[in-house]
A = this chain, B = another copy of it.
Amino acid sequence: MTQRKLKYGQVGGGQGAFIGAVHRHAMALDGLYELTAGALSSSPERSRASGAALGLADSRNYPSWEAMLEGELKLPVGERIDLVNIVTPNHLHYPVAKAFAEAGFHVVCDKPLVHTSAQALGLLETVERSDVIFGVTHNYTGYPMIRHAREMVRSGQLGELRKVIVEYSQGWLATKLEDTDHKQAGWRSDPARSGIVGAVGDIGTHCENLMSAVTDLRLEAICADLTSFVPGRVLDDDANILLRFHGGAKGVLHCSQIQTGLENDLRLRVHGSLGSISWCQENPNYLEFTPLTGAKQILTRGSDYLCDAAKKASRLPAGHPEAFIEAFANVYVGVAEAIHAKLEVRELQPLEGDFPTLEDGVRGVRFIEKTVESSKSTQKWTAF
């Protein structure tokens, strides 16, 4: 059952950008997508230059996302892009996603989804009306061992969940990098483009998504303390948050971009009455499992004993490590399955369509707003 490659148009991701190229690698990896159109920068000139360097046909190498939308809609349906891939700074997520979704294009949008819950809910309504597929690249849930962790929780191997610790430690903003010409630092620390949060939006939302995806626990209340450590920085570069979940579990979420010298140290620990699991993104092929009795186990990606979802998300045998791009690509595999099922007017099969959805994105925006609300409050608990 050969399926044609899906055609995508990328918005953002031009010269000097970081994450756009990651999306392109991830979409290329399994041969499921082809880059067909682009509006790769906010500057028409850089946009066109970037597209040319990537080999885009002139007719699909647009100076702006509005031009891309207009241009694609003029093409016969069969020639149009299937989906738009939004990898711009945060402030553009909303208008681009809304416009393309309204026009019937499928969407994959980077995180955090949008700036406000009002936007998020508006987008949700649009997408439901348009009946398009909408993925949000909370890419860390694409790791096979995270999918196995999720299955261990679901199947009860950890018993009743009690404690969750999720942390994301970076150090790249330990100095005022935004005062240099560092493009990533620039927009992330600018409220106009980043939104009401800095680190919380950039990496805190990954924490929220990762713990939610694995545990399916829902926040009841949070208690947050946000800080901007680097003098002159407007948005938070550090967050410490106490968590209370419906059902009685508790937790801690902390994230920071001023933990000097650290790289991308995202960790998740989940503790239940029957066992605990621990996972570190920087060495992602392993999942530690400590049962109530007996020896600690190191579960490895690619092993026979893993769940089907983890096996499906692997390309290589155990010991041949997979990593960030492969996990990212797994999100795109799920999106492709969902789009193909829609094209073929059929239901998703078991294990298909495993990717973070618009609902995840909406909840992430809520997490941002509640974190800021809690951080400003003198009350301990802010209901979620």
Question: Could you tell me which A residues sit within 8 Å of B by CB distance?
Answer: 1-2, 4-5, 18, 21-22, 24-25, 28-31, 35, 52-55, 158-159, 162-163, 165, 167, 170-172, 174-175, 223, 225, 227, 229, 238, 240, 242-244, 248, 250-252, 254, 256, 258-265, 269, 271-276, 281-285, 289-300, 302-305, 315-326, 377-381
Contacts and interface: CB of A to CB of B under 8 A. Distances in A.
A295 B273 CA distance: 21
B292 A295 contact: no
Given A22-B315, A227-B250, A285-B323, 14 more contacts: A24-B31, A25-B315, A28-B31, A31-B35, A162-B238, A163-B256, A240-B250, A256-B271, A259-B276, A261-B291, A262-B276, A281-B319, A282-B321, A284-B321
Stoichiometry, as copies per complex, reads 4
Contacts of A323: 285, 320-323, 326
Nearest to A4: B55
A322 B281 CA distance: 11
6 contacts: A31-B55, A240-B250, A260-B291, A261-B291, A261-B292, A282-B319
A2 B52 contact: yes
A289 B298 CA distance: 10
A380 B171 CA distance: 28
A250 B264 contact: no
A28 B250 CA distance: 43
A contacts with B: majority SS = loop
A52, A175, A324: most-surrounded residue (chain B CB, <10 A): A324
A1 B315 CA distance: 32
A5 to B, nearest CB: 8
Nearest to A160: B229
A240 B223 CA distance: 11
Contacts of A273: 174-175, 260
A65 B256 CA distance: 51
A379 to B, nearest CB: 6
A83 to B, nearest CB: 18
Contact of A289 (B170, B227, B295, B381): B295
A172 B22 CA distance: 33
Contacts of A254: 165, 252
A274 B259 CA distance: 10
A290 B377 CA distance: 34
Contacts of A175: 273, 292
A258, A281, A289: most-surrounded residue (chain B CB, <10 A): A258
B315 A320 contact: no
Nearest to A320: B324
Contact of A292 (B21, B260, B299): B260
Contact of A229 (B162, B292, B322): B162
